[in-house]
């Protein structure tokens, strides 16, 4: 069965510091992988996606993620966080050709001055 694990429930980072959010997936075929961000009380916004090709993908808001098949990982990174990056981040894998998603439990990011 497909699954997505985000090991860190909560991360606190100082403004200007780097950020890395971990994501591990379990999926039989070549995965379509996504990172979404959610501000409080809002819907989900797509940060970036991977489905083939270059394993380092660039997204919006200065985020990037690296797909590592050997480690079944798709970690999200940002070199220097801004206070506006405080939000909840979800990793997801597409489980069929129609777009159905399996989500991780999410990582809450707090940014301190």
Bridge partners (DSSP) listed for residue 12: 110
Which residue number, 9 or 70, has a Cβ lying nearer to other proteins?
9
- The answer to whether residue 43 forms part of the interface with other proteins (CB under 8 A) is yes
Q: Are 65 and 59 in contact (CB under 8 A)?
A: yes
Which residue number, 15 or 24, has a Cβ lying nearer to other proteins?
24
Bridge partners (DSSP) listed for residue 24: 5, 73
- The answer to whether residue 110 forms part of the interface with other proteins (CB under 8 A) is no
The CB density around residue 94, as the number of other CB atoms within 10 Å, is 18
Smallest gap from residue 55 Cβ to other proteins (A): 16
In angstroms, the CA 81 to CA 93 distance is 25
Which residue number, 14 or 42, has a Cβ lying nearer to other proteins?
42
Smallest gap from residue 80 Cβ to other proteins (A): 26
User: CB-hemisphere CA count at 13 Å for 19?
Assistant: 30
* Region of 13-21, 57-65, 66-74, 95-103 interacting with other proteins (CB under 8 A): 95-103
- The answer to whether residue 9 forms part of the interface with other proteins (CB under 8 A) is yes
**In the set 19, 25, 31, 36, which binds other proteins (CB under 8 A)?**
36
Residue corresponding to tokens 């159905």: 100
């Amino acid at each position: 069965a497909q699954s997505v694990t985000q090991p860190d429930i909560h991360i606190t980072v100082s403004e200007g510091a780097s950020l890395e959010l971990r994501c591990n997936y379990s999926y039989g075929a070549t995965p379509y992988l996504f990172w979404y961000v959610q501000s409080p009380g809002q819907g989900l916004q797509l940060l970036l996606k991977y489905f083939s090709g270059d394993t380092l993908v660039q997204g919006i808001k200065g985020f990037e993620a690296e797909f590592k098949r050997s480690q079944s990982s798709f970690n999200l990174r940002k070199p220097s966080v801004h206070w506006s990056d405080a939000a909840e981040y979800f990793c997801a894998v597409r489980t069929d050709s129609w777009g159905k998603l399996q989500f991780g439990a999410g990582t809450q990011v707090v940014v301190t001055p």
